[in-house]
Structure 1
Amino acid sequence: MYSTSTQKREWTYTPEKLAAVRLETNIKFREKYESVITPEELELFVTPEEELRMQRSIEDAALKFADKFRPHIWPSVKWTALAFFKRAFLVWMVMMGCFYLAMKIDEFYITIDDFVKNMNVGDPRQNAERILKLEPELMKVLNYNLTVHCPYRPFEGHLMDMKTRMLLLNFDLESIRRDSMRFFQNALQTDVLLVYPPSQIALAAINFGCMLKSDEILREFLRKMIGIEEDSWSARDVRPEDLEKLEKTVTRVNHIMREVEKQFVAVTEQERENHKSRLSQIQNLLPILNERRKEAWRAGGCIGQEPGLVTEAPVDSDDE
């Protein structure tokens, strides 16, 4: 259950906390190399805002990879993979490893050889070795919290409930599925899955799909689900707590829709190429900086832990 999961306890943030974590991670990364980096090299390092935009570019490329993947992967695999990536990006960044791990967690069986066949860059053997080598490191970064609650199951549940409770609708509820899936796809390139419960994201997707039909369908459905009868003759027939619950849910759903609309920005090809170039430069620079840190450590008499070594820390188990 989401309410008792590690996802809610450890990987759900307020927008303010999320911004603070990103800033702290960015500062820590800069401080790690400040003693060995030149001013010219420092210009390659990105600000938190640039880093977030770079993350969106990687997510966009990852979703294109997922849409072309064969065999066709489940939507929940995409959601799980992007959830892993967004969590890991707060500490570290890697994408293809997230997808392959998500497939294992979601029981979407595929061999590593078949997986790398879908990658259009790099040598297949080297890609496979890199992904498998990164997997234990990725799980460590995720604190071994590998259960991801996706909004697709509550979406199907809400849709089935609507079909049962709202028999007088003058359109087929299945017709909203295409727009709702587009909403989910756009949501994957925003922060909503790090901030809101999956059931509320699912309601937002349903509301998004229904908007062209009527903007009152969700409210009507929630009234029926909460138990507010339409033939109540006065406000005295309705419990105040039920009305409050209705309004809070509608407000939250509308807020999620606005957040997806505000945060989702299509990535241009030029922007993607610029990000790839910047990332490549940073990746080429990091081994040089790490070697400088080791040289400084040796020159200082090898005091303290050698730079680059990671100390294992005990972790809690994941959801039951």
Structure 2
Amino acid sequence: MYATSTQKREWTYTPEKLAAMRMEINLKFREKYESVIQPEELSLFVTPEEELRMQRSIEDAALRFADKFRPHMWPSVKWTALAFFKRAFLVWVPSDTSIRMVMMACFYLAMKIDEFYITIDGFVQNMNVGDPRQNAERILKLEPELMKVLNYNLTVHSPYRPFEGHLMDMKTRMLLLNFDLESIRLDSMSFLQQALQTDVPLLYPPAQIALAAINYGLHAQGKSNEILREFLRKLIGIEEDSWDARNDHPQDLEKLEKTVTRVDQIMKEVERNFVAVTEQERENHKSQLFRMQNLMKELDTRRKAAWEAGGRIGQEPGLVQEEPVDSDDE
């Protein structure tokens, strides 16, 4: 259950905590090379905000990859893969990794975790770049590194199961609705897809994300917020007279209002932070990452030269992997 899961304990944050973590790893990355970098090269070091936008670009491409994948990929696999990806880049830095190949490793690991069986050969056949044999080798090489950075917390609770549960409950408890609840499904699934390109999976419980998806679907059909509020009232067990000042269970009303507020927060988070990635932006990110990767090779050479010139004191730079064991050379 989510309430006792590692997801809640170790991988759910506040927006402020996420921003602080991203700033910290960005600064550590800069400090790693500050002794060997030239002033004119500083412009290639991106900000945490720019790194996050690079991640969004990869997430966008990954979801298009997932939609075209054959056999048809389960929605839960997509959610698990992108959850792994988001968690990994709270430790790793996009500029210092093969970010696209890390995403592919996240998908392949997610398929194993969600028991969506496919061989590595079948997986790489769906990739439209690179040599299949080399892609397979790189994914399998990254997999243990990925599990390590995830602290082996591999169970991901997605909102798809609670969404189905909530929808079934609504159909059972709200018999007087004058429309087919199934009509919201397409818009609700679209909302969840957009949520995957935001920080929502790192901020909120899956059951509340599912409620937000239902409310989004209702809004898309021109329905009132009162439908969700009425459903929650029935779900919590608040009687018709609970709105009376003599209500003996104010905690139930408080729970209702907190849930409605949280649903609104999730919807606003997606609306505010989901930004479709343009083809031009995607190409710019590819170019930027390519230049950064080339600079990293040069800086690592300088670090080693400085270590040798300094009498080889301490650990040799690069001897112990500081980041994922791969390079972005597609």
Length-normalised TM-score, structure 2: 0.91
Summarize the alignment of residues 161-176 of structure 1 with structure 2, pairs less than 5 Å apart: 161-176=169-184
Q: Does 1:99 align with 2:71?
A: no
Give the C-alpha shift of residue 231 in structure 1.
5.2
Q: Which amino acid aligns with 2:125?
A: K
1:18-52 CA deviation, whole Å, 9 max, x = no partner?
00000001101111111111222221111111111
Matching residue of 2:316: 306
Contact 1:219 1:250 in 2 (8 A): yes
Q: Give the Cα–Cα distance (whole angstroms) in 2 for the partners of residues 230 and 191 of structure 1.
A: 37
- Identity, in percent, stands at 84
Give the C-alpha shift of residue 214 in structure 1.
2.2
Q: Give the Cα–Cα distance (whole angstroms) in 1 for the partners of residues 119 and 127 of structure 2.
A: 13
Unaligned runs of 5+ in 2: 93-98, 323-330
Summarize the alignment of residues 11-30 of structure 1 with structure 2, pairs less than 5 Å apart: 11-30=11-30
Q: Give the Cα–Cα distance (whole angstroms) in 2 for the partners of residues 280 and 210 of structure 1.
A: 43
Q: Which amino acid aligns with 1:251?
A: T
Length-normalised TM-score, structure 1: 0.94
The number of residues matched between the two structures is 312
1:228-282 CA deviation, whole Å, 9 max, x = no partner?
1225583324521111111110001001000000000011110110001101111
Matching residue of 1:267: 277
1:178-212 CA deviation, whole Å, 9 max, x = no partner?
01000000000000110111111011001111122
Q: Give the Cα–Cα distance (whole angstroms) in 1 for the partners of residues 186 and 197 of structure 2.
A: 18
Summarize the alignment of residues 90-169 of structure 1 with structure 2, pairs less than 5 Å apart: 90-92=90-92, 93=99, 94-169=102-177
Q: Secondary structure at the match of 1:95?
A: helix
Summarize the alignment of residues 51-70 of structure 1 with structure 2, pairs less than 5 Å apart: 51-70=51-70
Q: Give the Cα–Cα distance (whole angstroms) in 1 for the partners of residues 321 and 125 of structure 2.
A: 35
Give the C-alpha shift of residue 310 in structure 1.
3.9
Q: Give the Cα–Cα distance (whole angstroms) in 1 for the partners of residues 119 and 254 of structure 2.
A: 50
Unaligned runs of 5+ in 1: 313-320
Q: Does 1:75 align with 2:75?
A: yes
Q: Give the Cα–Cα distance (whole angstroms) in 2 for the partners of residues 214 and 65 of structure 1.
A: 35
Q: Give the Cα–Cα distance (whole angstroms) in 2 for the partners of residues 174 and 86 of structure 1.
A: 31
Give the C-alpha shift of residue 285 in structure 1.
2.1
Q: Give the Cα–Cα distance (whole angstroms) in 2 for the partners of residues 39 and 230 of structure 1.
A: 69
Matching residue of 1:203: 211
Q: Give the Cα–Cα distance (whole angstroms) in 2 for the partners of residues 271 and 184 of structure 1.
A: 23
1:58-85 CA deviation, whole Å, 9 max, x = no partner?
1111111111111110000000000000
| Aligned counterpart in structure 1 of residue 233 of structure 2, from 203, 223, 226 | 223
Q: Does 1:285 align with 2:295?
A: yes
Q: Give the Cα–Cα distance (whole angstroms) in 2 for the partners of residues 222 and 112 of structure 1.
A: 44
Q: Secondary structure at the match of 1:46?
A: coil
